Amino acid sequence: MDISFEEGQLHFQFKNVQAGAKFDEQPPGSPDHNFLAGRGLKPVDFIIETADRVLFIEIKDPEHTRAKRQAVAEFKKKVQGVVLRDELVRKCRDTYLYRTCTHNLPRKDIHYYVLITGLNVQDLSTLTKQLLDQLPVLLERDAELRNLRQHGQQWDNFVTASVAFNLRTWQAQFPDFLVERRAAE
């Protein structure tokens, strides 16, 4: 199935996916909204399920055409320090925790993708490394945990990838997950 979402001026089209939700915009009164808001949890923007993985996707668009100069400057400061990293880590952890506790997470690998418009490749690489250092990402070297998983014990889901992208690198990596900027209203 194909799913489309709007996030500010960005239009997303996810082709050939099994399910998807704009997770940070649950309707008031829904169980997800009440649980997340009532406990101070910060969700990711989208959750997309493909045949072999679950994608947690967070979007930051400092290049939004209505972004104020001061807000863009403040965002750039967040990128250079740990504020952005900490915010992104919290969103992934909170979403993972919530979906695991509600038994609403398929037994698939989880990939955490962050799309930030306007970041250069060096900043993307630095942010990716920071996320990998802070998230409980299952790496190839984690043979002991992989062994538990293969034998169906306790650890069914892991974040197995965490990568930061800009628009150009996103389009190159995900030709079936289209992103385009729509005109400002």
Does residue 76 have a pLDDT over 80?
A: yes
Domains contained in the chain, number:
1
The reply to whether the predicted model has a pTM over 0.75 is: yes
Does residue 111 carry a pLDDT above 90?
Answer: yes
For 131, the domain range is 3-181
β-pairing verdict for 46-49 and 53-60: antiparallel
User: Which of the two residues, 101 and 180, has the higher pLDDT score?
Assistant: 180
- Average confidence (pLDDT) over 5-21: 95
Least confident of 27-41, 146-160, 170-184: 146-160
- In percent, the amount of the chain with pLDDT more than 90 equals 47
What was the pLDDT predicted at 154? 46
Measured distance CA(132)–CA(63) in Å, rounded: 25
Q: Residue 146: what pLDDT?
A: 53
Question: Residue 36 above 90 pLDDT?
Answer: no
Q: How confident is the model at residue 127 (pLDDT cuts 50, 70, 90)?
A: very high
Whether residue 37 has pLDDT greater than 80:
no
Question: 9-32 in b/e burial notation, b at 16+ Cβ within 10 A?
Answer: bbebebeebeebbbbbebeeeeeb
